[in-house]
């Protein structure tokens, strides 16, 4: 049984995750569920990045300790992941002892072997805010540069800091990226990494600070705490029981290297340059693939608090259900280009695809099966027709797309037979066949075709909508959880239940 290790990036625990962040977890979950479906030994890791200045500040503002603060954010995040039916195997928090202890050892080892060195971090420093800003961040004022946060003057300041010697790995990184076309996905991002960062000259990056306290201590140099990269990125191996001394846990030996790191396009750089650089330094194999997914935009705009256009998953789930929410983001997000969500688009997509096409097909098919055959549809011979041929084709297309992480294509392929089957009903007119007793076997063939189409779809769409597909399968008289090679049954014994996807009525006030 092939193993499949997949991760999300770990969201920063400074605030509640919105639907865009949540999309990443849902996407990763769907991929993980797909791999379980086809029989892989899947390990799915997610978690939270809980250190750093912003958390320290947010906690202060909230009047709680940083630990109390991240405890709250992480609990909320986990409840959102649960509502979204994101079923991870492990959840790592960077404030956990198991993580911190390993990271300290890693940091020390990297320092001892010369991959981490002490230097100076320079930048524009805002004294009242106690924060550094880069040249591009500061606001140009009449009397000098100003803090982008508070508007007060900033000073060019230097601070002692440790750096990771990424420059030493530039050639190896470039060679690896060139030699492994699948390493960076989507493809166009590969050139961006090569041309935008490696070729102009890779800079060493800062891995410690002395200007804030909320971080993992550099134990051989009190006063320094780790700054994001070594701390956060290493979660992918600390969670598996990696040991810088070589005494790895069972999970690490079994699941590393990672099959795919799923993350947002904005942090692709850190995962394709910084992280591999660190792994090379530690002598660990690189992840097989890093996928930088596009962003979910609110209409055409970036989702942001300041624009006040942020949507959170719980709100959608409470109103429209977990299946619609998952379906929307997975169906709507392209592979390489930003997707979009608005309430109108959401409602339209769910009504059209789920209520009108899929839900209604289930409803009319199962109702007819009960009406004409008391729910037992067992034809004497197995029908063969265009619809069933399409089912087989869609299954292959779906699989090919899923293996490439082309979720939108996979979902669209899975839905194709549903649309075809609705037409099939009009073509065959089962209500006419039902009036002629000599056509009973024909009628059975029609209904079997419809039910079998629904069964096939329930398998493909299970990773996307586990709850609704489980319900559909129950109505079809099938086990709730499908397997990829589930054979088409000789006959169906169905029982109608609640409508799977009630139509959503969008009220004026909600738009």
Partner RNA sequence: CGCGGGGUAGAGCAGUCCGGUAGCUCGUCGGGCUCAUAACCCGGAGGUCAGGGGUUCAAAUCCCCUCCCCGCAACCA
Note whether 306 binds RNA by CB under 7 A. Answer: yes
Task: List residues bridging with 185 in a β-sheet.
Answer: 291
Task: Indicate the pairing of strand 116-126 with strand 155-164.
Answer: antiparallel
Task: Indicate the pairing of strand 260-264 with strand 290-293.
Answer: parallel
Give per-residue burial for 236-272: e unless 16+ CB within 10 Å, then b.
bbbbbbbebeeebbebbeebbebbbbbbbbebbbbbb
| Cβ within 8 Å of residue 60, ≥6 positions away | none
- Shortest Cβ 189–RNA spacing (Å): 9
Task: Indicate the pairing of strand 376-377 with strand 492-493.
Answer: antiparallel
Note whether 447 binds RNA by CB under 7 A. Answer: no
Tell me the number of residues near RNA by CB under 7 A.
Answer: 69
CA–CA separation, 456 and 446 (whole Å): 15
Write down the residue that tokens 């998952």 correspond to: 326
Select the span of 237-245, 291-299, 399-407, 457-465 touching RNA (CB under 7 A): 291-299
Q: Of 116, 303, 388, 406, which one interacts with RNA (CB under 7 A)?
A: 303
Q: Please list every residue from 364 through 383 that binds RNA, using CB under 7 A.
A: 364, 367-368, 371
Select the span of 173-181, 192-200, 276-284, 314-322 touching RNA (CB under 7 A): 192-200
Q: What separation in angstroms does the CA of 493 have from each of 155, 377, 450, 455?
A: 76, 6, 13, 12
Q: Of 199, 302, 378, 386, which one interacts with RNA (CB under 7 A)?
A: 302
- Dmax (CA) for the chain in angstroms is 94
CB nearer to RNA: give 285 or 497. Answer: 497
- Shortest Cβ 419–RNA spacing (Å): 5
Q: Of 176, 248, 254, 265, which one interacts with RNA (CB under 7 A)?
A: 265
Q: Of 157, 167, 356, 493, which one interacts with RNA (CB under 7 A)?
A: 356
- Shortest Cβ 241–RNA spacing (Å): 26
How many degrees, rounded to 5, is the angle at CA 460 between CA 25 and CA 317? 40
Task: List residues bridging with 140 in a β-sheet.
Answer: 145
> SS3 letters for 282-305?
HCCCCCCCEEEECCEEECCECCCC
Q: Please list every residue from 413 through 432 that binds RNA, using CB under 7 A.
A: 419, 422-423, 425-426, 429-432
Note whether 247 binds RNA by CB under 7 A. Answer: no
Q: What separation in angstroms does the CA of 420 have from each of 348, 367, 385, 405?
A: 20, 19, 11, 25
CB nearer to RNA: give 241 or 264. Answer: 264
- Shortest Cβ 58–RNA spacing (Å): 8
Q: Please list every residue from 39 through 78 that binds RNA, using CB under 7 A.
A: 54
CA–CA separation, 473 and 485 (whole Å): 15
Calculate the CA 210 to chain-centre distance: 34
Note whether 352 binds RNA by CB under 7 A. Answer: yes
N residues, the chain: 511
Note whether 309 binds RNA by CB under 7 A. Answer: no
CB nearer to RNA: give 258 or 281. Answer: 258
- Phi, psi for 184 (deg, rounded to 5): -105, 125
Q: Please list every residue from 194 through 213 that binds RNA, using CB under 7 A.
A: 195-196
Burial label, 493 (beta-carbon count in 10 A; 0-12, 13-18, 19+): middle
Q: Of 17, 47, 123, 287, which one interacts with RNA (CB under 7 A)?
A: 17
Note whether 397 binds RNA by CB under 7 A. Answer: no
* DSSP state for residue 49 in the 8-state scheme: B
Note whether 451 binds RNA by CB under 7 A. Answer: no
- Shortest Cβ 115–RNA spacing (Å): 25
CB nearer to RNA: give 54 or 78. Answer: 54
Q: Residues interacting with RNA, by CB under 7 A?
A: 9, 11-12, 14-15, 17-18, 20-21, 23-24, 54, 136-137, 148-149, 188, 192, 195-196, 263-267, 293-297, 300-307, 334, 337, 340, 348, 352, 355-360, 362-364, 367-368, 371, 419, 422-423, 425-426, 429-432, 499-503
């Amino acid at each position: 049984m092939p193993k499949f290790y997949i991760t999300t990036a770990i969201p920063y625990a400074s605030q509640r995750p919105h639907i865009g962040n949540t999309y990443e977890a849902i996407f990763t979950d769907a991929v993980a569920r797909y791999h379980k479906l086809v029989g892989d030994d899947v390990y799915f890791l997610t978690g939270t990045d809980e250190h750093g200045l912003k958390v320290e500040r947010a906690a202060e503002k909230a009047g709680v300790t940083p630990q109390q603060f991240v405890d709250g954010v992480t609990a909320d995040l986990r409840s959102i992941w649960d509502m979204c039916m994101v079923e991870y195997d492990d959840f790592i928090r960077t404030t956990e002892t198991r993580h911190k202890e390993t990271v300290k050892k890693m940091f020390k080892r990297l320092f001892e072997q010369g991959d981490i060195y002490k230097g100076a971090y320079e930048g524009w420093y805002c004294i009242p805010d106690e924060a550094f800003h880069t040249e591009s961040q500061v606001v140009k004022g009449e009397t000098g540069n100003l803090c982008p946060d508070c508007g007060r003057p900033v000073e060019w300041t230097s601070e002692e800091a440790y750096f990771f010697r990424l420059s030493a790995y530039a050639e190896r990184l470039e060679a690896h990226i060139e030699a492994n076309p699948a390493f960076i996905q989507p493809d166009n991002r590969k050139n961006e990494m090569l041309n935008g960062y490696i070729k102009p000259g890779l800079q060493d990056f800062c891995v410690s600070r002395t200007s804030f306290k909320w971080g993992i201590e550099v134990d051989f140099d009190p006063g320094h705490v780790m700054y994001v990269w070594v701390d956060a990125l290493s979660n992918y191996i600390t969670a598996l029981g990696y040991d810088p001394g070589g005494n790895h846990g069972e999970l690490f030996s079994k699941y590393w290297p990672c099959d795919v790191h799923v993350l947002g396009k904005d942090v692709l750089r850190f995962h394709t340059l910084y992280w591999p650089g660190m792994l090379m330094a530690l002598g660990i194999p690189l992840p097989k693939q890093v996928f930088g997914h596009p962003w979910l935009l609110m209409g055409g705009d970036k989702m942001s608090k300041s624009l006040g256009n942020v949507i959170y998953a719980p709100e959608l789930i409470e109103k429209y259900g977990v299946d619609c929410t998952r379906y929307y983001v997975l169906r709507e997000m392209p592979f390489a280009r930003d997707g979009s969500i608005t309430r109108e688009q959401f409602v339209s997509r769910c009504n059209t695809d789920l209520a009108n096409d899929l839900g209604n097909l289930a409803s009319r098919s199962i109702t007819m099966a009960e009406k004409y055959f008391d729910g037992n549809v067992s034809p004497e011979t197995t029908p063969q027709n265009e619809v069933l041929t399409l089912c087989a084709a869609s299954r292959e297309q779906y699989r090919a797309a899923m293996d490439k992480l082309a979720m939108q294509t996979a979902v669209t392929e899975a839905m194709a037979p549903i649309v075809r089957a609705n037409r099939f009903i009009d073509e065959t007119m089962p209500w006419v066949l039902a009036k002629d007793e000599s056509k009973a076997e024909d009628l059975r063939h029609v209904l079997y075709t419809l039910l079998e189409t629904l069964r096939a779809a329930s398998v493909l769409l299970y990773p996307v909508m586990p709850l609704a597909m489980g319900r559909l399968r129950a109505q079809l008289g099938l086990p709730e959880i499908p397997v990829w090679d589930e054979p088409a049954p000789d006959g169906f014994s169905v029982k109608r239940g609640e409508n799977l996807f009630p139509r959503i009525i969008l009220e004026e006030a909600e738009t």
